[in-house]
Structure 1
Amino acid sequence: MVELKIVKVGNSLGVRLPREVVTRLHVEDGDRLILTESPEGGYRLTPYDPEFEAQMKVAEEGMRRYRNTLKALAE
């Protein structure tokens, strides 16, 4: 477990990532990260992956298109 401290950055808030976290994520200054909610109720921080983003756009479009069908299947 790594404890992060929230710091003021201009008019925003941010966190500083320790070197060990940056190394493990294989990221560097200027890279993008994705923060997603986990099923357990927490959050997960991962490096940005353009291929995954494209796949999610396709999935979201499919869920929008078949919204009624998915709702019926969930019942």
Structure 2
Amino acid sequence: MNTPLKITKVGNSAGVILPKELLAHLNATVGETLSVVLTPRGIELSAADADFDAQMEAAREVMARRKRALRELAK
């Protein structure tokens, strides 16, 4: 798919309107969160992982409990 997208002003930011075909390809709907990753070729846009926030919270808890061990491993 090679569809030109127009950048529009949204308050103090800028936005791009995604066509419904692109949203369908991403398995995303209006109101959902998308993930953007910088790559050597540009950007990669994908549907956000629903479990990511829960996984990060669990990781933060483990890191807080094992702070000394992680500090030693980082040396």
Residue 27 of structure 2 aligns with which residue?
A: 26
Cα pair distance change 1:25/1:4, threshold 3 Å: same
SS of 2:32's partner is coil
Distance in structure 2 (CA, Å) of the matches to 1:54 and 1:29:
22
Structure 1 gaps of 5+ residues are: 60-75
Cα pair distance change 1:53/1:43, threshold 3 Å: farther
2:73 paired with 1:42 = no
C-alpha deviation, 1:9, in angstroms? 1.5
Relative to the length of structure 2, the TM-score reads: 0.61
Counterpart amino acid of residue 45 in structure 1: L
Q: CA RMSD in A?
A: 3.0
Runs (4 or more) in structure 1 with deviation over 2 Å come to: 50-59
Aligned length: 73
Q: Percent identity?
A: 43
Structure 2 gaps of 5+ residues are: 60-75
Cα pair distance change 1:12/1:54, threshold 3 Å: same
Distance in structure 2 (CA, Å) of the matches to 1:41 and 1:31:
25
Residue 66 of structure 1 aligns with which residue?
A: none
The higher radius of gyration belongs to 2
Relative to the length of structure 1, the TM-score reads: 0.61
Distance in structure 2 (CA, Å) of the matches to 1:41 and 1:53:
27
Counterpart amino acid of residue 49 in structure 1: D
